[in-house]
Amino acid sequence: MSENKLHIDPNQIHLNYIEEVSVTIDNTEPIKDSKVTLSTNIAHISAHNLDKNQFLFGLHLVFNTNNLDVIHECNFRYNFHFIIDNLKEMYEIDKDKEPVFKEIFAATLAGISYSTLRGIVFEKTKDSNWGTIILPVVNPAILLESWIGKD
């Protein structure tokens, strides 16, 4: 099936479970210095069970303060567990007999996961010394470029 003929049906995608792997919010002192800038790093991981139509999309998001004597860190790692009714339509088998998932499918799950993470980060930081962190809207395909555990 060609990439441009692949149809993503939202009724076939079910976010079954959100797993909090780790959350660390360094709350040692209020961060109110207007000269403070943040570094942001995000990476993903994915896994699947083809027999059960399951797909996992994990995100790891880290904020670090810059321009301070002491570096503060805010760290979020979540796994998003999906059931995909039509998972068999979302990949092709390569010459090594491994599934290769369509980029639009992976980007769709990245978008759902990231959008959900935006709400989680907002909620978890709103009463913290960091103040409310509102993540920007991004192109989900960008999330596919960096992997958890790879440099």
CATH of the domain at 106: 3.10.420.10
- Give the whole-angstrom CA distance, residue 64 versus residue 18: 24
In-domain check, residue 149: no
Residue span of the structural domain in which 25 resides: 3-143
Alpha helices by DSSP H, the chain = 103-125, 140-143
In-domain check, residue 151: no
In-domain check, residue 29: yes
- Give the whole-angstrom CA distance, residue 67 versus residue 3: 45
Task: Look at the pTM and tell me if it is higher than 0.95.
Answer: no
pLDDT at 94 over 90: yes
In-domain check, residue 32: yes
Q: How far is CA 104 from CA 23, 27, 111, 122, 140, in A?
A: 29, 38, 10, 27, 9
Band (pLDDT 50/70/90 cuts) for residue 150 is low
Average the pLDDT over 92-101 and give the result.
94
In-domain check, residue 150: no
The total number of structural domains in the chain stands at 1
In-domain check, residue 115: yes
In-domain check, residue 60: yes
